[in-house]
Amino acid sequence: MEEGSVRRDPGKCMFENIREDIRMHEGKWSSQGLWVMLPYRFGCWRYSVGPALLRKPLSVAYRVMKTLSQILTGIDLPCEVKVGRRFRIEHFGGIIISGDAILGDDVVVRNGVTIGLKRRDDPGSPVIGNRVDIGAGAKLLGKIRIGDDVIIGANAVVITDVPSNSIAVGIPARIIPRKKCVSNQEGCPSAVVLNPHSLNAADLELAVLSN
């Protein structure tokens, strides 16, 4: 993940973050991903409320909202997870993200994705870079680092670091360099370099999927 990448304060900017979440889910209120992002944003925001006496009822409200969204969507996204900008949840069901995981900007997760501990007695969860597209059913386990512009294939089990601009597929995941990159980072093996900042979400998705 880039050092110093601009992040919104998850507490202070609750409404701005929610507006962005709505845009990322194409304004579809029926999108289960959005049902999860609302309690998530609320949960983050409540930490910014100073007086403990005021925070207590907000925490109770958060617990109720989170449990309901979990039951309705099968997605567990605790508000302790650090999520970057423009996070998108495609589809729903069986998505579990551990509280100590860190996700960069423009990360996409899909149904069946687990991001969490490798073993119960082995603390530490993945740190995921920017523009990482995680395929359906993929499991990312343990204290690993996933670079920027990475695609994780469907059903991959990733237990080692994945360098930027690569694809991880299979069980355990093997790493393949990407043919095209969406960043202009050093080490990008591609002749075709796209600047993600000049692309909108749909273009970026197209670029990622066409790799």
Q: Which residue is nearest to ligand COA (CB)?
A: 135
65 binds ligand COA, rule: CB under 6 A: no
Q: By CB under 6 A, what part of segment 179-198 binds ligand COA?
A: none
Q: With CB under 6 A, what is the number of residues at the site for ligand COA?
A: 13
Residue of the chain from 49, 169, 175, 201 that contacts ligand COA (CB under 6 A) = 169
107 binds ligand COA, rule: CB under 6 A: no
110 binds ligand COA, rule: CB under 6 A: yes
Q: By CB under 6 A, what part of segment 126-155 binds ligand COA?
A: 135-136, 151, 153-155
Span interacting with ligand COA, options 34-42, 81-89, 168-176, 186-194, rule CB under 6 A: 168-176
DSSP one-letter string for 1-58: --TT-----TTTTHHHHHHHHHHHTTT-TT-HHHHHHHHHHHHHHHTT---HHHHHHH
Residues in Cβ contact with 49 at an 8 Å cutoff, skipping those fewer than 6 apart: 55, 58
14 or 194: whose CB is closer to ligand COA?
194
Torsion angle of alpha carbons 68, 72, 76, 77, nearest 10°?
A: -70
Q: Quick one: CA dihedral 154, 22, 11, 147, positive or negative?
A: positive
Q: Sheet harboring 75-76: ordered strands across?
A: 75-76, 95-97, 114-116, 139-141, 157-158
Q: How far is the CB of 22 from ligand COA (least distance, A)?
A: 21
Find the length of the chain.
211
Q: By CB under 6 A, what part of segment 18-47 binds ligand COA?
A: none
Q: How far is the CB of 90 from ligand COA (least distance, A)?
A: 6
CB 160 within 8 A of CB 191: no
C-alpha distances in angstroms, 178 versus 33, 135, 181? 28, 15, 7
79 or 109: whose CB is closer to ligand COA?
109
Kindly list the residues in this chain that would bind ligand COA in the complex (CB under 6 A).
Answer: 91, 110, 135-136, 151, 153-155, 167, 169-170, 176, 211
